[in-house]
């Protein structure tokens, strides 16, 4: 059973639809105990970093997610769900993230060529790791974000994407996986990423 974390800040319907299509049993929940007792967990996220952290804390989900990530069971963060795993974000100065992984989330600098937020399809390069099994370097995925990850430990970075700068667009650290792009909105390539995660987690 996959717990999809519900904290009024996630694009949960498209995630649930993708899981349904893949035949993966899941539950949408804001109950910390259900999350901790699930076999795997997905943290979606859309919106402001600080607001998302406030919503997690107000429901006791921050400690549940930390405990789950430490359990060794498979965890996937998507979009802001990736950013929340790290220490801090320039979007919300002074707000502490989950701190499960080390790094900082920074704001894109806009220009005539670079519009912020980045909305649309972009390619991922330097791909490695289990989420990208069977996915070619340079495959395109769907992004919607104004802030990007700068991971402290580059060994956990499993893909890079260029948007004015080259930034870290996915990570894998033990049982913890995360993508800045939306696999659930990224057509066949995104479904392949989700399938890989579900196979790693033993869900399909």
- Greatest CA separation found in the chain? 48
40/43 Cα distance (integer angstroms): 10
Q: Which pTM value belongs to this model?
A: 0.97
Torsion of CA 153, 102, 5, 58, to 10 degrees: 180
- Judge whether residue 197 has pLDDT over 90: yes
pLDDT-derived band at 11 (thresholds 50, 70, 90) equals: confident
- Determine which one of 16, 88, 91, 184 is catalytic: 184
Q: Average pLDDT in the 118-139 region?
A: 98
CB 142 within 8 A of CB 180: no
Q: Single out the catalytic residue among 26, 88, 91, 182.
A: 182
Selecting among 41, 79, 88, 91, the annotated active-site residue is 79
Looking at the structure, give the CATH architecture of the domain made up of residues 2-201.
Answer: 3-Layer(aba) Sandwich (3.40)
Check if 79 is active-site.
Answer: yes
Q: What are the pLDDT digits (tens) for 149-182?
A: 999 999 999 999 999 999 999 999 999 999 999 9
pLDDT for 32-50, tens place per residue?
Answer: 999 999 999 999 999 999 9
Active site residue 182: yes
| Whether 74 is catalytic | no
């Amino acid at each position: 059973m996959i717990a999809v974390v519900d904290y009024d800040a996630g694009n949960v319907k498209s995630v649930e639809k993708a899981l349904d299509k893949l035949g993966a049993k899941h539950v949408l929940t804001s109950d910390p105990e259900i999350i901790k007792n699930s076999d795997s967990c997905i943290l979606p996220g859309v919106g402001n970093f600080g607001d998302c952290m406030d919503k997690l804390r107000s429901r006791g989900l921050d400690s549940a997610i930390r405990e789950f990530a430490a359990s060794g069971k498979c965890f996937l963060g998507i979009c802001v769900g990736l950013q929340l795993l790290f220490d801090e974000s320039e979007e919300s100065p002074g707000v502490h993230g989950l701190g499960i992984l080390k790094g900082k989330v920074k704001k894109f600098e806009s220009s005539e060529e670079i519009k912020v937020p980045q909305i649309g399809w972009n390619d991922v390069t330097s791909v490695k790791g289990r989420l990208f099994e069977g996915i070619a370097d340079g495959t395109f995925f769907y992004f919607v974000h104004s802030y990007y990850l700068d991971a402290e430990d580059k060994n956990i970075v499993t893909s890079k994407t260029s948007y004015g700068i080259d930034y870290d667009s996915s990570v894998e650290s033990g049982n913890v996986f995360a993508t800045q792009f939306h696999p659930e909105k990224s057509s066949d390539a995104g479904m392949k990423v989700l399938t890989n995660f579900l196979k790693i987690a033993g869900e399909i």
